[in-house]
Structure formats: C-alpha cells, structure tokens
Amino acid sequence: MKIGVFIPELIRHLFRTPATVDYPFKKLEVPKSFRGSPYLQPELCIVCRACERDCPAEAIEINTVKEEEKIFSLVIYNDRCIHCAQCVDSCPTKAMQMDEKFEISNFNRHNLKMDWEFVRAAVKPKAENKS
C-alpha cells in the first residue's frame, strides 16, 4: 500500500500531447486492409451468383434485366451489409472489392443502396490461370 502511486504518471502526462484525436476535425487513417463497403467492378462480373448465395446478410441481389442481351443488374443494400467481405472471398473473378470508407452513416437507409447495370463478362477463368 502506497499513497498516491499514480501521481507521477498523472503529472508526467499533464504536459504531453493527449492520446486522443479531435475526431470530426482530425481523422486517423485506416490500415490498407480495412474492410469498408463492398463495390462491384462490373467489367469483371460473370454473374456466377456466388456472392448472392454466400452473403450472410442477404445484402446482394442480382437480377436479369435483358436475358438475350446478357444485361444484368447487381444491387448492394449497404444498409444490410455487415462488412464481412465474404463476397470478396467468394468471387472467382475478383469483381467484388472492399473500399476503405468508414463514415458511411446516412439519414435514410435507401441512400445507402448501390446498383450497377452491366453486360455479363465473358468467362475466362482458365485463361487467367495460365498467365
């Protein structure tokens, strides 16, 4: 038992810069591998629907717009997304990627929806493997 064991530590920190950051005015950087929100690179998507099947939050929806012209639409409901990046892992062509945004709150959940309409990419996983 000692009285005031904490005082030296406290006084030492009195003249140091604080460990906290003045947040909304100054921001810390997130690491490179940060899992933000998922986004699609439509030129790579082959519509295998692996992301739609594996998404635990059912936040990805793939619809057929015009069957004969191979036009599809992919919707990411970011309000439901749990940012687990399973879609990135499931994607065979790396069409799904994660960004590094962390301030994505919004007053309306529908504003978080993202959608793409695109022509299905040609299947070429074997050619990629060789090169």
Partner 1 sequence: MATVNTLIYLIIYPGLLFIFLYSTFVEWYDRKLYARLQNRMGPTHTGPSGLLQPIADFFKLMAKEDITPERADKTMFAALPPFGLAIVSTAMLLLPVWNYSLEQSSLTSFNGDIIVLLYLLSLPTFIFFLAGWSSTNLFSTIGGARVLTMLFGYEVPLFLAVLSPAVLADSWRLAEIAAFYRQQPALALVNLLGFIIALICVQAKLERTPFDIPHAETEIVGGTFTEYSGKKLAVFRLMLDVEMVVAAGLIATVFLGGFPGGPILGLINFIIKTLLVVFFLSLIRATTSRIRVDQVVSFAWKYLAPLAVLQLLIVIIVKGLIS
Partner 2 sequence: MNFQIPIGPQHPALKEPIGLRITVEGEIIRDADIRLGYNHRGIEKLAEQKTWIQNVYLTERICGICSHSHTTCYVQGVEKLMELETPKRGLYIRMLISELERIHSHLLWLGVAGHEAGFDSFFMYVWRDREIVMDILETISGNRVHYAINTIGGVRRDLDELQVKRILDSLEVLRRRSQYYLNLGTTEPSFVARLARVGYLSREDALSLCAVGPTLRASGVPMDVRKDDPYAAYDEVPFEVCTAGTCDVLGRTVVRIKELFQSYNIIEYLMKNLPTGPIAVRAPRRAKPNEVVSRYEAPRGENLHYIKSNGSDKPERLKVRAPTLGNYAATIKMLKNGFIADVPLIFAAIDPCICCAERAVALIDARTGQEKIMSLKSLKELSLKVSPTTTRKREIEWPL
Residues of the shown chain interacting with partner 1 in the complex, contacts defined by CB under 8 A: 4, 6-7, 10-11, 13-14, 16, 18-20, 22
The residue among 71 and 88 lying less far from partner 2, judged by its C-beta, is 88
Interacting partner of 49 out of partner 1, partner 2, none (Cβ under 5 to 8 A depending on kind): none
The residue range among 69-77, 79-87, 110-118, 119-127 that interacts with partner 2, by the rule CB under 8 A, is 79-87
Binding range to partner 2, per CB under 8 A, among 33-41, 62-70, 71-79, 114-122: 33-41
Q: How far is the CB of 131 from partner 2 (least distance, A)?
A: 22
DSSP characters over 9-62: HHHHHHTSPPSS--TTTS-PPPPTT----EEE-GGG-----HHHHH-TT--EEE
Instruction: Verify binding: residue 50, partner 2, rule CB under 8 A.
Output: no
Question: Closest by alpha carbon to 48, among 113, 112, 124?
Answer: 124
- Residue 123 carries which DSSP code? P
Residue 55 CB-density burial (10 A; 0-12 exposed, 13-18 middle, 19+ buried): buried
Stretch that binds partner 2, among 29-37, 59-67, 68-76, 106-114 (CB under 8 A): 29-37
Kindly state whether residue 125 participates in binding partner 2, applying the rule CB under 8 A: no
Question: Smaller CB distance to partner 1: residue 24 or 31?
Answer: 24
